[in-house]
Amino acid sequence: MKIKNSASVAPENCIFCKIIARILPAAIVYENEEFIAFMDRSPFSTGHTLVCPKKHGETIWDMTEPEIGGLFTVAAKISKAIVKATESDGFRFVQNNGEAANQVVAHVHVHVIPVKMSHKGVYMDRKNPPMEDLQKTADEISSALGTI
């Protein structure tokens, strides 16, 4: 079974694979051998981070159960640092699979989106902060990782 995704590309053309290979810039929050976390370039809120496997796969169906567990383990760890660094009141995990689910980049990823009580029930628009601001937030989250 295949999920429809017009954003499908070969790994050598994948924007996230290019970030992993350091061909494209990103404000990196965390990295280990299997996963990487970096700031979303068009965040819903300050601290909105993407966590993805380094191994290319379009949807969660392209991962093994242990890989899926590892992805969400890293996302959970990152969420604690994000909430602490951004002084948020909660967070969302969003994981889209396929075009119908609004997956824009065809590489598995989990959005970790911090939210404050003032966000409750409010539609959140994407923002377009400068890279310097994203890097500053990434550094604050990375620092918070060392304290949790």
CATH number, domain containing residue 115: 3.30.428.10
Q: What is the pLDDT of residue 27?
A: 98
Structural domain count, the chain: 1
Share of the chain above pLDDT 90, in %: 83
Q: Which domain holds residue 58?
A: 11-145
Tokens in use for 123? 């539609």
Residue 3 lies in a domain: no
Residue 47 lies in a domain: yes
Residues (pLDDT < 50) of the chain are: none
Residue 1 lies in a domain: no
Single out the catalytic residue among 48, 56, 107, 109: 109
Long-range contacts: 17-24, Cβ < 8 Å, 24+?
17/56, 17/107, 20/54
Residue 113 lies in a domain: yes
Residue 72 lies in a domain: yes
Choose among 71, 69, 121, 111: nearest CA to 91: 111
109 classed as catalytic: yes
